[in-house]
Amino acid sequence: MGLTNPFNQESLGKKPETKIIDVGGATRIRNQFSNYPSQGLTPEFLTEIFRQADTGDMRTIMELYTEMEEKDAHLGSVLQTRKMTVSGLPFDVLPFSDDARDVEVAQFCDDALKAIKNLEDGFFDILDAVGKGYSVTEIVWNTKSGKALIDGLRWWDQKAFTFLKQDGTVSEFPYLITDENQVYGEVLQPGKFVVHQARTRSGMVNRAGALRPIAWIYLFKNYTLKDWVILNERFANPFRLGKYMAGASEAEREALKQAVFFLGTDSAAIISEATEIEIIESEGKKSSAEMFEKLAEYIDKAMTKAVLGHTGAAESTSGKLGGENMAEEVRDDIVRADATALSSTLKRDVLSPLVAFNFGPDVPVPKVNFNFGDEEDLKELAETLKTIGEMGVSLPVAWVREKFGIPAPEDGEETTKGVAVEDKGKGNGNGDIDNDDNGDGDDE
């Protein structure tokens, strides 16, 4: 999606390096502990974090995004829903054309992808770009029987990369921070990384991602929850007021103080007959509590709309027809856009090196086709294509296979018998279509 890959494509014809790269990057990145920028977060500090990211330095903002997912259960849930909706879709690898060689290459890639040990988790990690704007996943290569295969996909923390260039501008592609280059980073090794971008709006990738606009309402929600907790702490329980008589001794006053505190935990105490404890109920605080609750609900709805495209997850009513289903779904056009973007990234960063390493750099690359399970839509499409075929319009076989997710048969593979539209009049005289080869009307 507009990504400029600086890889040297000529090097993709060579066998891949099977070593696992040190995930640490530079010394300061090897420290896996976060600076926890959300602690004491203020509008001024958040603005400064954004300005830092705008220059290409992504460390602090990526730490903030990670904390946002961890600390806000609702936000983490809707992000997980969106990523898992696509990562769990069934898929096939479609050949570049119906040519036998292209079909062979596509089948090899399909088998190689589905043999990856952590494929679904790998897709989920790649889709981490949905919230953060970009993700980097390492391809762990292996060789078997003379073929270059993929053992697994390994997630990298986005803070190990920078977009800052030596001329002071911002790159469109992340560079790996290393011990040798801790400021500007180094170009990623060809055929070794999957770099995925998920743009929620136009502009530079370092300002993309759903979590950037959400960061503001996350900040306000933090204020809301803190104030709500303080309100509950102060006014949820009745206030206990102890009164002692004039001239009471220090020991009597201390005993009364302890009695007041014990009433908050043990609800029992022994005091002098000359002292008094009054329980004061809080009045008029219900409206304040409702104000905090309504603001928190509003922010949850805004987060849901930003991630899923609707507020069903925040507004669904138990028992309401369709309510629970709506709460679990991502808007259809968003799912398709995520799947299309993921398919493009897989073709460029996974299938391209896989084909180049095993068949050569000049062989056409197939593509990943995700199946959305639109049974009704496919049925309607089939009826439309049947009508078009009866009108005498020829249809490309490869296009039809792509639309229906039907793989091309291999040489010698057993197939079902199809009836060509132009043969519709061929039959046995009884209105039945003859599907055999001898034209006698007997299909046995």
The residue among 233, 213, 367 whose CA lies nearest residue 292 is 233
Q: Where are the alpha helices (DSSP H) in 263-322?
A: 286-308, 312-315
pLDDT at 34 over 60: yes
Q: Which residues of 252-284 are buried (b: 16+ CB within 10 A; e: fewer)?
A: beebbeebbeebeeeeebebeeebeeeeeeeee
Instruction: Look up residue 300 and give its amino acid.
Output: D
pLDDT of residue 234: 61
Residue 397: the pLDDT is 83
Q: What's the pLDDT at 30?
A: 46
Query: What's the confidence (pLDDT) of residue 281?
Result: 55
pLDDT value of residue 9: 46
CA 211 – CA 79 distance, rounded (Å): 10
pTM of the predicted protein model: 0.69
Banded pLDDT at 348 (limits 50, 70, 90): very high
Q: What value does the mean pLDDT take over residues 90-100?
A: 93
Of 224-238, 265-279, 329-343, 346-360, highest mean pLDDT: 346-360
pLDDT of residue 70: 93
How far apart are the C-alpha atoms of 195 and 160, rounded to whole Å?
13
Distance of alpha carbon 28 from alpha carbon 25, whole angstroms: 8
- The answer to whether the Cα torsion of 145, 146, 150, 156 is positive or negative is positive
Mean pLDDT over the full length of the chain: 79
pLDDT value of residue 194: 97
- Average pLDDT of the segment spanning 216-229: 80
What confidence score (pLDDT) does residue 318 get? 43
pLDDT for residue 413: 78
